[in-house]
Chain A
């Protein structure tokens, strides 16, 4: 059973398009995260939701909008895609606080 799943695994699109990445966890965790890994493999937090409520927004452009329909899902919608958005996006989940975060397999986004 996959603990944290993401779809799609690969996403290739043109500049200016709008795209979404979906994330689901079946671990019963209350907290979910989105991280971005750039081409140099540096990982940075983007958002965190606790029980459907946004608790961390790390100065991410407004073009990025997370949505949490329930505590098992955290989707990432990106408007007006730019070349610099090309990266691997990881979803993660944990219990609240500093507990272990479990990561999904990642979504490699390529903007042409």
Chain B
């Protein structure tokens, strides 16, 4: 079985500060890992994905994530937060056996001026 845990339902940072959103996964098979962003009243947009290639994955809007098998983690980072980054962020896990995404609980990111 697969599962995802996102630590912190709400994270608040100042504009220009480092963004760190935490995600830990559990998977009995090699995982595929995703970060999606959801802006208010919109659908989900893919930020980045890990599919067993490079462990450091770069995504859109300056975000990146590092796959650490020993820590079963896939934390999302951005060096400098922008006001437009305020949104809900979801970590998700999948496998190559069916493709369904299993989501974490989501983390709401607030950016203060």
Chain A interface (Cβ < 8 Å from any Cβ of B) = 4, 31, 33, 35, 40-45, 48, 55-56, 58, 90, 92, 94, 96-106
Contacts and interface: CB of A to CB of B under 8 A. Distances in A.
Top 5 nearest A-B pairs by Cβ distance?
A: A98-B32, A103-B43, A103-B44, A43-B103, A98-B94
A32 to B, nearest CB: 11
Interface of B: 32, 34, 36, 38, 41-46, 49, 51, 88, 90, 94-96, 98-103, 105-106
Contacts of B90: 43
Contacts of A43: 44, 90, 101, 103, 106
Contacts of B96: 97-98
A27 to B, nearest CB: 13
A7 to B, nearest CB: 14
Contacts, number: 60
B99 A41 contact: no
17 contacts: A4-B43, A41-B106, A42-B103, A42-B105, A42-B106, A43-B44, A43-B90, A43-B103, A45-B100, A48-B99, A55-B98, A98-B32, A98-B94, A98-B95, A98-B96, A100-B46, A105-B43
A94 B49 CA distance: 14
Nearest to B52: A98
A56 B100 contact: yes
